[in-house]
Amino acid sequence: MHDIEFWFDPISPYAYLAFECLPQALMGLSVQVRYRPVLFAGLLKAHGQLGPAEIPGKRDWTYRQVLWLARQHGVPLDLPASHPFNPLPLLRLGLATATPEAPGETSRYVTEQLFRHVWRGGHDAADPTRLSELQALLQDHMARRDQPWPDADGPEVKAQLRANTDAALAGGLFGVPALVSGGKAFWGLDALPMLRAWLDGDDWFGQGAWEAAAHLPAGAARKT
């Protein structure tokens, strides 16, 4: 069985698309996918980067491209009422559902609810009423499984989100979605075929190209 860590922040439309396309990409394989919420803004800050939606021009292109990609992949996608937004309430609601057996993780069902809260229907992802409705849905989900519901804004949940973000940075991750398997990280929706090739044992991965890419010298460095 293959083990995959799916690092995500529901603020990312590419993470949403990768989530929806993942079952087809992994069809026929025996896999265990572990979903790990992470603060995308924390990764960007650590690497001194702006998010796609923070760069004029790139922001418009991002929304155009994800609408096109959704159409191409047959995935329903509606842009939210405003974007970017503060994803912390969503991330914390997700992590409030983590179990002692899988700390720092969300189930596929919970992950789906987080993504679809943002990318289905064109609503305001940060609307307090909608967040309360989502919390009630997740609390009911936990209650039916006899799992306690912690304070989503409490110190334990906040600490777990920080721990997830720190773990992602320690693993060399710089963006979402990031899918990690066998010590290799695959970034983005368009990396799903590459991930599948790795899991299928494609001999390209044994020819040294993966390792060599990390040792290419830089010919120049931009002054800041």
What is the block-wise mean pLDDT of the chain (224 residues), using blocks of 10 residues? 96 98 96 97 93 92 97 98 97 95 95 98 98 96 88 93 97 96 96 97 95 92 76
Q: Round to whole Å and give the CA distance between 224 and 222.
A: 6
Dihedral sign computed on CA atoms, order 100, 102, 103, 106: negative
Output the six-digit token pair for 27: 């069809």
Superfamily of domain 2-213: Glutaredoxin (3.40.30.10)
Buried b (16+ CB within 10 A) or exposed e, 38-71: bbbbbbbeeeeeebbbeeeeebeebeeebeebbe
Q: Quick one: tokens of 40?
A: 């995308």
What proportions of the chain, in percent to the nearest 5, are helix, strand and coil?
50, 10, 40
pTM, 2 dp: 0.96
pLDDT computed for residue 144 by the predictor: 85
Residue 171 amino acid letter: G
pLDDT of residue 221: 83
Residue 151 to residue 26: CA distance in whole angstroms: 35
Q: In a 3-state reduction of DSSP, which class is residue 7?
A: strand
How crowded is residue 127: how many other Cβ atoms within 10 Å of its Cβ? 16
Length of the chain: 224
SS3 assignment, position 102 = strand
Domain boundaries, the chain: 2-213
Listed in sequence order, the DSSP H helices in the chain are 13-25, 40-47, 58-73, 88-95, 108-119, 128-143, 155-170, 192-199, 209-213
Identify the three-state secondary structure at position 128: helix
